[in-house]
Structure 1
Amino acid sequence: MLPTIGRIVHYTLSEQDAEAINRRREDFAEAPATNTGFVGHVGNPASTGDIYPAMVVNTFGGTAANLQVFLDGNDTYWATSRVEGADQGTWA
């Protein structure tokens, strides 16, 4: 399927995606309460293989696309240059 801007797809987190998401959330949790300017990333832990809805925000021909992944929390994850597939780190 050719991705089009605005389409909702299913994105499967890779190990690197889950680590990046959890690191942002841990950084916020460890930040001093007086530290202003932090964007609070809060939500349930992300795991390798988790599937989340994602919106296509840019396309590069073929099945490559940039995605905004809607996580189980108050934040999103920008998955760049991802292709269609059934493996981790791909969308369907």
Structure 2
Amino acid sequence: MSTSSPETSPAPTIGRIVHYKLSGHDVSMINLHNMQSYGGQGVVRSPVALGEVYPAMVVRTFEGAETTVNLQVFLDGNTSYWATSRSQGPDHGQWSWPVRV
């Protein structure tokens, strides 16, 4: 994950892909969501764990909060997770820019 600080990073914009690190609350909510179904087909995905990093798309930004965004986190399976009001940083429950290679 990127180690650049928010002051030197570009501002997030809708449609950009970032990395998101799951928190314990996220894992609980994703596992609860696993009980639901989509059109008769249950949720099929790999297990998730605290601290795992997944790609996520920025779906909303907030004026005056340059690094706080809403995200659709792409899980490994047929579902995603809506992570709301998440800030940039290295901790669980935060997003970061992917490392450029």
Task: Give the TM-score, by structure 1 length.
Answer: 0.83
Distance 1:39 1:15 in 2: 26
- Cα deviation, 1:28-83, whole Å, max 9, x if unaligned, reads 4xx8xxxx956632211111101000000000131000000000110000000000
Q: Going by fraction, where is strand more abundant, 1 or 2? A: 2
Aligned-partner Cα distance in 2 for 1:11–1:62: 17
Correspondence 1:10-21 to 2 at 5 A: 10-21=19-30
Alpha-carbon distance in 1 for matches of 2:41, 2:84: 21
The structure in which a higher percent of residues are helix is 1
In structure 2, runs of 5+ residues without a counterpart are: 1-8, 97-101
Distance 1:79 1:38 in 2: 25
Say what the alpha-carbon RMSD is for the aligned residues: 1.8
Three-state SS of the structure 2 residue aligned to 1:72 is coil
Q: Which residue type is aligned with residue 86 of structure 1?
A: P
TM-score, normalising length: structure 2 = 0.76
Aligned length: 85
Identity across the alignment (%)? 55
* 1:44 has 2:46 as partner: yes
Match of 2:14 among 5, 10, 15: 5
Structure 1 gaps of 5+ residues are none
